[in-house]
Chain A
Amino acid sequence: MAAANPDSARPQNTRAIMTFLREHAPFSSMDDTHLAHFAEHATLRFYADGDEVISPDDGVIKRFYVVKQGRIRGERHNAKDDRTDTTFEISLGECFPLAALIGERPTRTLHRAAGDTFCLSIEQDAFITLFSASDPFRDFCLRGVSSLLDQVNQRIQSSAMASIGSSNSLDTPLERYALRNPIVCSPDLPVEKAVARMHENSVGSIIVTDDNRHPTGIFTLRDLRTLIAEHKAPLDAPIRQVMTQDPICLPAHADAFEAAMLMAEHHFAHLCVVDDEHCLIGVVSERDLFSLQRVDLVNLARTIGTATHLRTLVSLRADVSRLVDAMLAHGADSGQVVKIITTLNDVTVRRVLELNIKKNDPGIPFTWLTFGSEGRQEQTLLTDQDNGILFETPEGMTEDQVREKLLPFAQTVNQELAECGFTLCKGNIMASNPKLCLSDNEWDDWFIRFIDASTPQNLVYSSIFLDMRAVFGPTKPLEELLDKVLSRIRKNALFQKMLAGNAFQRKPPLTMFRNFRYVTDGNKQALDLKRQGLAPFVESVRVFALANGVGTANTLERMDELAKKGVFDPKDANAWKEGYSLIQAIRMRSHQELLNRGEELTNLIDPDDLNPLDRRILRESFRQAQRLQQKLELTYQL
């Protein structure tokens, strides 16, 4: 028995330490012989709460530590303010002090136990042995946490791959394919009216239903061809005379494969999808089933951009979600994906505007503005509308007269965007709000008041109105407006400080000594990835961007610009971009998972649902947000 299983020949305590190590990166990717080498050469030390573990005075670092229980806090003395800053926290399964050990120098940070803490450690010679023998270990030591990021990205890719695979293999439930709210009519409707309705909605079939929404028949373009060619009935005959009776129905939980088999068997191109009460939910066409096989960005954008009906735009939203899956599967990073989502959203918004202008032109040129996350080009699948209108008042008209024409138009657009899945803004930050449908002069006045009277309410709005972009119409009026706003903010130190103070309120969800600080979501513990995770980055970066005349609204691009201008240290900027992108990636993966399960999208996650690696990455990312806020605190003396 012992010979067959080398692990059982090892002492119990060696095996126990190997088991502990295996739960944590980078050890989780290391070979057993290397883990055994670690365990057999390890010492276990205890540090009571507040004890020094290593200090800059200890000289060149000769030991590699792993936290087995408890936590370690990094402390640096801030000479300027004569106080001690906590620079980092190291918790269960994490290693220290890598940089000093690799650099063969003393640590620059005092490492102190936060709570009673046990650490495993190995001496330099065992460390060197492992460093040269184990690739994952070496990689981790040299690249630190960023080597773990690759692992996370690989996993995001593989889970997205799995979801693509399932839609290709036709075992996806029909309800994901079905066109919602199919075109229906009553049995007594004349054929010509039914055909007109099909034409209006550019669909190839109409379902005939009774009063209880049970499908009783189907009429398709093919039926129309037969009707006319064979003079079966006059065009004003009621549709029940010419429809195909008792259309084939499948329940929503049937899969695409069943549907495809039925269609092939009966040579039908359409199927009704019904619920348990046999009430109509949707229609699936042969084309729907097979168009799933390939979704590509250009084609999708073109389809959206040339759609002639709102309902087409609505149905294309499902393709956007599938495209996101595909992008994640092919290794696109979260920054690229949110930009693509925003691009497709922009195309949709533009198309909705174009279709409405075609139908009902208000006759006045305008620029359609978007604010907030859409303004920053950081939209995910969960998104609501934040928009407004900027117009130049034509000669001979007052601003209120222009609004009279534009507001009803904007009202329709807002409603139609809501149908496309852009939730109506609860705070009424929408173009149909008279306060946000303004001329260039009015906007300018509005911003002067906004910046001069920095009321708490205004500061809340700063996250919306200071991230803006033109989506439709001439861009020059917005550029001129932005120039004025930026130079006003640059000159107004008080406003900057208030913005900074506001951004500083939004603390990353880490407590001083515990792991995550949760928000309450019913009786579950949860982290809000958007409000608690991304917002601290977005808000802090905005302050620096506005104060330094950076015009772009995108958070990652703002950080690049700030690094170029020397406001951010390039290394810091990179770490912050990485942290921000990872939270975004975990958020998007969670959205895709919710979508696949047909659940409502939320930004809340339960960290217990994450694996240890993700939890650690998340914590590291939050820590980066804390560092960014510390810079804010220092710069603005908060």
Chain B
Amino acid sequence: MLEQIKHWLDRRRGGRGGHLDLENLPNAKTPGDQLLSDCRLIVLDLETTGLNAAKDEVIAIGAVAISGGAIQLSDQFDLILRRPELDITETVLIHGIGNEALTQGHETEDALLYLLEWMNGDPVLAFHSAFDQKFLEKTLRSQLGYTTSHTWMDVADLLPVFFPKAKPGGKGLDHWSDFFGLEASARHNAAADALVTAELTLVALNRAKKHDVKTLRQLHDKLHYHRRLQNMHRF
């Protein structure tokens, strides 16, 4: 990862006098008639110092890409951000990321720019995506002044839509992983959680195809409908 980013930065800075700009980043795509079997999807997971987006910070970003209906392990993102100024002692125990590991990370701006380039504006999926979306958008805004919104979809919604009868015993990532017999290779590791989330996404997309949900728009609409239904039930 480290080498990849350095390489990329050299390329980007080459000819531009070391100046990084936000102008040439890929545009965020909106859900249209792209076929789910063709398009690229980002599945992402963040580790943070806590649950409060107003005061907590992102520690690590893990992401994998799904394209052609498969998780491409050649196309992944796994980085611990360099945030030595943060007091992370409280959550160190949960995430297993100590100060030592953190200082091996990278300048946050570089890493985030690289992430945006890598994401290529493709739709982003995450488990309980509101959380990741809030944190990532906050970080991009404060570090880079980047405000473009991307298309986000919640895998926690995707699963009950296509497996309405499943009783996973809870709504969490662990519940659904257990339900499908999946296991993260490491606990509370952004990349490992992203991979499990992506595996669950594959399971859901397999079912979607059988229900004639073929395009990104159809999938997005279905999720939107499910959300509204849920909200109505709440009242």
Docked-complex contact B192 and A116, CB < 8 angstroms: no
Docked-complex contact A45 and B70, CB < 8 angstroms: yes
* B195 lies within 8 A of chain A by Cβ: yes
Docked-complex contact B74 and A40, CB < 8 angstroms: yes
Query: Assuming the A-B contacts A1-B100, A13-B64, are A43 and B72 also in contact, with contact meaning beta carbons closer than 8 angstroms in the complex?
Result: yes
B118-126, B182-190, B216-224, B227-235: which lies at the interface: B182-190
Docked-complex contact B203 and A13, CB < 8 angstroms: no
* B180 lies within 8 A of chain A by Cβ: yes
Docked-complex contact B70 and A116, CB < 8 angstroms: no
Closest to B184 in A: A16
* A42 lies within 8 A of chain B by Cβ: yes
Q: Which residues of A contact B1 (CB under 8 A)?
A: 11
Docked-complex contact A12 and B73, CB < 8 angstroms: no
- When chains A and B are docked, how far (Å) is the Cα of A69 from the Cα of B73? 17
* B199 lies within 8 A of chain A by Cβ: yes
Closest to A19 in B: B185
- When chains A and B are docked, how far (Å) is the Cα of A233 from the Cα of B4? 99
* B149 lies within 8 A of chain A by Cβ: no
Closest to A123 in B: B74
* A472 lies within 8 A of chain B by Cβ: no
Closest to B101 in A: A1
* A47 lies within 8 A of chain B by Cβ: yes
Contact residues, A559-594 vs B (CB, 8 A): none
Query: Assuming the A-B contacts A19-B185, A116-B203, are A43 and B195 also in contact, with contact meaning beta carbons closer than 8 angstroms in the complex?
Result: no
Name A's interface SS.
Answer: mixed
Contact count A vs B, C-beta below 8 Å: 76
* B71 lies within 8 A of chain A by Cβ: yes
Q: Which residues of B contact A39 (CB under 8 A)?
A: 73
Docked-complex contact B78 and A40, CB < 8 angstroms: no
Closest to A15 in B: B185
* A14 lies within 8 A of chain B by Cβ: yes
Q: Which residues of A contact B69 (CB under 8 A)?
A: 45
Closest to B67 in A: A43
* A46 lies within 8 A of chain B by Cβ: yes
Q: Which residues of B contact A42 (CB under 8 A)?
A: 73-74
Which of A9, A13, A16, A43 is the one whose CB lies under 8 Å from B2? A9
- When chains A and B are docked, how far (Å) is the Cα of A112 from the Cα of B205? 18
Contact residues, A40-78 vs B (CB, 8 A): 40-48, 51, 69
- When chains A and B are docked, how far (Å) is the Cα of A264 from the Cα of B133? 83
Docked-complex contact B181 and A69, CB < 8 angstroms: yes
* A2 lies within 8 A of chain B by Cβ: yes
Q: Which residues of B contact A41 (CB under 8 A)?
A: 73-74
* B28 lies within 8 A of chain A by Cβ: no
* A17 lies within 8 A of chain B by Cβ: yes
Contact residues, A8-34 vs B (CB, 8 A): 9, 11-17, 19
Q: Which residues of A contact B195 (CB under 8 A)?
A: 13, 16, 44
Docked-complex contact B191 and A12, CB < 8 angstroms: yes
CB distance from A571 to the nearest CB of B (A): 35
Query: Assuming the A-B contacts A2-B104, A44-B202, are A13 and B207 also in contact, with contact meaning beta carbons closer than 8 angstroms in the complex?
Result: no
* A137 lies within 8 A of chain B by Cβ: no
Docked-complex contact A13 and B191, CB < 8 angstroms: yes
* A118 lies within 8 A of chain B by Cβ: yes
Q: Which residues of B contact A15 (CB under 8 A)?
A: 185
Docked-complex contact B191 and A48, CB < 8 angstroms: no
Docked-complex contact A13 and B73, CB < 8 angstroms: yes
Docked-complex contact A48 and B199, CB < 8 angstroms: no
Q: Which residues of B contact A9 (CB under 8 A)?
A: 2
- When chains A and B are docked, how far (Å) is the Cα of A9 from the Cα of B191? 14
B interface footprint on A99-128 (CB within 8 Å = 1, 0 otherwise): 000000000000000001010000000000
* B206 lies within 8 A of chain A by Cβ: yes
Contact residues, B86-135 vs A (CB, 8 A): 100, 104
Docked-complex contact A48 and B207, CB < 8 angstroms: yes
Closest to B180 in A: A116
* B76 lies within 8 A of chain A by Cβ: yes
Q: Which residues of A contact B73 (CB under 8 A)?
A: 13-14, 17, 39-44
Q: Give me 21 A-to-B residue pairs in the complex whose CB atoms sit less than 8 angstroms apart, sorted by A's number.
A: A1-B100, A2-B104, A11-B191, A12-B185, A13-B64, A13-B192, A13-B194, A16-B185, A16-B195, A41-B73, A42-B74, A43-B68, A43-B71, A43-B72, A43-B73, A44-B199, A45-B69, A45-B70, A69-B181, A69-B182, A116-B181
Footprint of B on A, CB under 8 Å? Answer: 1-2, 9, 11-17, 19, 39-48, 51, 69, 116, 118
Q: A40-B74, A69-B181 known; 19 other A-B pairs, CB under 8 Å?
A: A12-B191, A12-B192, A13-B62, A13-B73, A13-B195, A16-B186, A16-B192, A40-B73, A43-B73, A44-B195, A44-B199, A45-B71, A46-B202, A46-B203, A47-B206, A48-B203, A116-B181, A116-B203, A118-B199
Footprint of A on B, CB under 8 Å? Answer: 1-2, 62, 64, 68-74, 76, 78, 100, 104, 180-182, 185-186, 189, 191-192, 194-195, 198-199, 202-203, 205-207, 210
